[in-house]
Amino acid sequence: MQTNILTISEEGKPEWEKIINYLKKKKMYIHTASTVNEAYKKLKSEPVNIILSDYHLPNIKIPTFLNKIKTIKPDVELIFLSDNVTLTNAIDAMRGGAYDFYEIPVKPRLLTTVIEKAIEKQSLFLEKIELEKKINTMFDFENIVGRSKPMQYVINLISSVAPKNASVLITGETGSGKEMVAKAIHYNSPRASKPFITVNCGAFNEGVLESEIFGHEKGSFTGAITKRIGRFELANEGTIFLDEIGDLSLSTQIKLLRVLQEKEFERVGGNETIKVNIRVLAATNQDLKDLMEEKKFRKDLYYRLNIVHIEVPHLRERKDDIPLLVSSFISKFNEEKGYKIKGINKDAMQMLLNYIWPGNVRELENAVEAAMAIAPRDVIEAKYLPSFLLLAQPQHADFYQIPQHFTLQEAENEIINFTLEKTNGNKSKAARLLGIGLRTLQRKVNEG
């Protein structure tokens, strides 16, 4: 990257001429200004990285000057040079936002090093700004793709609850986008600049999970050779997202309930009480009410978590969003992987619309990525879609004609069997589609 430096000094100063000539020899592009107003104009019109300014310019108030510079170009770094340096001047300049302060004559090598470090700091600042933009874009409501009524309802709920500090229970089938919803809540909340920490409650056994969540002290169990900071401590002042909350053991549920109620806990094997200020978001693909009936999930914890409930719809319930999702995925993978796919043809899109997507949005995303990876031209055609789509017959998941001679019991059994077939035997999904509890479905299956 070309280094562009703006020098601000009165004309005819030999030391400044030497500095300018030296920097030009170092292949740096130099813009010059002899007054503050001229400097402001150059800063607005030229791609300036670094400002080298005389501290003792005529008719200048340093705080006002620094503030105006940062207002015009927040990422620019300013270095003051002066032939009459005082400690007070240097301190005032640094407090006002200057990068550094040096006395003239300054050694050329030192000046070059200072400029390089200033540019490094500027790069970090720009990276931070870019990262913040990406985060804001990634989790902005507009990027939760969906114009269908079910998704608009979800987006409105997120918009309402994000600024609050309420706990939120997010439910929905695997791959429906529950974590994306959680992140949208966090990054549009007052806690957005604080940590967002995720815990997959189904990924660890009970002992390991407690250590992950609460941390542990050195020597608290075999293998605990050092102290470990848990996820709750890491999430302090921010948000903790407890995914697959239905997989928590009853003993861990009790400890989690205490954290929600008292805002404090102890590390495993420790006596120190650690206080935290966190927002809790939880998600599950299970029916927690069924788990409560089976005495596998505590009612008091459920009501603590379920202050606001957001149900993320399955893709089959929002098929109108498939073209939007496909377009979003094409843009995403073009940017991430350098593909040059412009779109998808009508036949391929129809195949995507016909499929019931048991793996939800995640399965659709994988299918689009796979097609983009092998498509030789800039349009996805039906023949480039994954084989399971090519082999699948058009699905009619919402329609089934029951023979007229069936009794009510036979019709019910037929609907249950049809739904279980469509969910590949997943009883939790089937129960949710049928609008009944898991235990009720199990009883009806046994009776049938």
pLDDT tens digits, residue range 177-188? 899 899 999 989
Q: Which two tokens stand for residue 80?
A: 């003051």
User: What is the C-alpha to C-alpha distance for residues 26 and 15, in angstroms, rounded to an integer?
Assistant: 17
Q: pLDDT category, 97, cuts 50, 70, 90? A: confident
Q: pLDDT category, 358, cuts 50, 70, 90? A: confident
User: What is the C-alpha to C-alpha distance for residues 116 and 252, in angstroms, rounded to an integer?
Assistant: 52
Domain boundaries of the chain, sorted by first residue: 4-135, 143-313, 316-391, 408-447
> Which residue in 303, 206, 294 sits closest to 255, CA to CA?
206
Per-residue b or e along 321-335, where b marks 16 or more CB atoms closer than 10 Å to that residue's CB: bbeebbebbbeebee
Whether pTM > 0.85 for this model: the answer is no
408-447 CATH fold: Arc Repressor Mutant, subunit A (1.10.10)
* pLDDT of the residue at 395: 47
Q: Which two tokens stand for residue 442?
A: 């199990």
pLDDT tens digits, residue range 100-140? 888 888 888 888 888 888 888 877 777 766 655 554 544 45
Q: SS3 of 53, please?
A: strand
288: Cβ–Cβ under 8 A, 6 or more apart, which residues? 169, 171, 245, 246, 297, 302, 306
398 has a pLDDT exceeding 60: no
Residue carrying the six token digits 């948000």? 239
Q: Which two tokens stand for residue 168?
A: 């939120």
143-313 CATH fold: Rossmann fold (3.40.50)
316-391 CATH fold: Helicase, Ruva Protein; domain 3 (1.10.8)
User: What is the C-alpha to C-alpha distance for residues 91 and 47, in angstroms, rounded to an integer?
Assistant: 28
Match domain 4-135 to its CATH number in 3.40.50.2300, 2.40.50.140, 3.40.190.10, 3.40.605.10.
Answer: 3.40.50.2300
Residue carrying the six token digits 């043809």? 345
Q: Which two tokens stand for residue 355?
A: 């499929």
User: What is the C-alpha to C-alpha distance for residues 366 and 42, in angstroms, rounded to an integer?
Assistant: 50
With the C-alpha atoms ordered 262, 267, 268, 270, is the resulting torsion angle positive or negative?
negative
Q: Which two tokens stand for residue 164?
A: 């609050």
Q: Which alpha helices (H) appear in 218-345, and where do they start and end?
A: 231-234, 250-262, 288-293, 299-305, 322-337
pLDDT tens digits, residue range 180-211? 899 999 989 999 889 999 999 888 877 788 88
User: What is the C-alpha to C-alpha distance for residues 125 and 70, in angstroms, rounded to an integer?
Assistant: 13
Q: pLDDT category, 396, cuts 50, 70, 90? A: very low
Do 408-447 and 143-313 have the same topology in CATH?
Answer: no
Q: Which two tokens stand for residue 219?
A: 């020597």
Share of the chain above pLDDT 90, in %: 32
What residues does 168 pair with on adjacent strands?
A: 281, 308
* pLDDT of the residue at 397: 47
Q: Is the peptide bond before 105 cis (omega within 30 degrees of 0)?
A: yes
* pLDDT of the residue at 140: 52
User: Angle, nearest 10°, between helix axes 108-138 and 178-187?
Assistant: 120
pLDDT tens digits, residue range 295-325? 999 999 999 999 999 999 999 888 889 998 9
